[in-house]
Structure 1
Amino acid sequence: MEPDNGTRISEFLLLGLSEEPELQPLLFGLFLSMYLITVFGNLLIILAVSSDSHLHTPMYFFLSNLSFVDICFTSTTVPKMLVNIQTQSKVITYEGCITQMYFFILFAGLDVNLLTVMAYDRFVAICHPLHYTVIMHPELCGQLVLVSWIISALHSLLQSLMTLQLSFLPLLPIPHFFCELNQMIQLACSDTFFNNLVMYFAAVLLGSVSLAGILYSYSKIISSLRGMSSAKGKYKAFSTCASHLSVISLFYLTSLGVYLSSSATHNARSSATASVLYTVVTPMLNPFIYSLRNKDIKGALKRFLGMAGRKITE
């Protein structure tokens, strides 16, 4: 049944991960903790990179941008979820839902684009070390980040505008903890053929281009490593890629896992629970992955925290 033309949809209901009252305090504490760790951890990476001149290199410039995007990515979904749990309200306005969906798609796309750009950076650093500073000059780094923003913003705008053309029932219950594009399309009561077409085409196009770029970069890196005679040189070169490979694997495997689980079970609530992996857990783990095995980051963090501690005591 379609809503009357004169009816304006003003609100939706986000059902969240569970409707059990006894689980709400546990969910609130768990997601608040993960959100604070995500924001604090990624903010430390940004501050460490910006405060240490030794880290003013393309690799750490992209890393600080990734940390900023991860903060924004998590902030599009978790705060609203926490407010809804705390106020015992499931309501989100129509405008708020579309806005949340727009920024979620934007920052998810930026995550993918930045991981691809970082793979290209590692390719140039390892395969063309003598020309690295010439190729990866500051202007190119800025342009790569700018292009990533433009592509993600245009894709997000397209999906949001197409969703605005759909009709929904009043107070539509959404079995998720945020307004996710696929859920919105499935729950619409108007024709969604073109929405599904554009959604899957864009996902395949952008995802395949990104993955192809990453695979090409690392195939060249592996080929270059095999040609090195020094074991120490191989280890040093590969160690600069280890953190990036870990983040790529975590992001793509969790995203793929969510897609496969939702396709196999057709259970919206199970899909919402699985979505926590790439929307909350992955951005929380990224700072640990990049800092635990990285001596430069650990050294910069120690110097930054030491300076901050001295200023507080003065």
Structure 2
Amino acid sequence: MDAPLASVLIGCGVSPKAEELFPYGADKVYVIDDPSLDNFLCDSQVNILEDLINRFSPSILIASATTQGRTVMPMLSARIGCGLTADCTELSIDPGSGKLIQTRPAIGGNVMADIKTRGRDPQMCTVRPKSKRPLCPDMSRKGELIKVCPSSNLMVSALEYLGFSPETSVGLPIQEAEIIISGGKGMKNSKNFAKLEELARLLGGTVGASRMAVDLGWAPYSAQVGLSGKSVTPRLYLAFGISGAVQHIAGMSGAETIIAVNHDPEAPIFRVADLSIQGDALEILDGLIESLKKRQS
């Protein structure tokens, strides 16, 4: 697409981050840096973005489908009267019309739908984090840093920030982890599933889960991998007792190396695995934990 790419940074103390965006393709970076934006308050961010849209008239507006992006973008689309395609996994440009083609799962994740936004610009969408690996940075690229000072009334919020309590888990957040140890229904119960945390500690990884494991209450939703959870691209993805539904595979197939353990020789996950191990997931997990403990002692 023959158009400049601009990024927007909103927050407190975000200015130093602006220069990091140019090597990844940004031509311009609009920075709104103010102490009043230290904590996330969605209405003030919507006010600021609406003002930027009115001033600079972008043709496309993309945000990450994080908790914040999923909060701000629907409010913004309603405010300016534009359509919004949520949770996309692929973006492309129609060579004929020049319109943005937004691809996202539909009908319970069983099909992938291509969507074009009708009506006025900007064409708006959110993109699932980690659905693609980042571009290799070009450290020679430079761009234009534009500091924006919105009027004070735009940053006034009707909300009050009370505090933040992070969820406790083993390792990094799942989308930042280089090693993910995931379990599914084949772990049989919550006690067995908890053994994955021990393996994650030994390997310096993070625990993930299939949707079935989350639905059974063995793991929190924040650990769910798949179209209805998180898309991940770790260096190593270890799957114990996961058969490999289409929705789960779509969320982890971008891993560099996939090792799958399942008793079923026809398990769909074996089709995408780099190493397939047919056997009892619990026995293999126990053996692996014991071997690692001996090696580290």
Query: Above 0.5 in TM-score?
Result: no
Higher helix share: 1
Considering Cα pairs closer than 8 Å and 6+ residues apart, tell me whether 1 or 2 has the greater RCO: 1
Normalised by the length of structure 2, the TM-score is: 0.22
Higher strand share: 2
Normalised by the length of structure 1, the TM-score is: 0.21
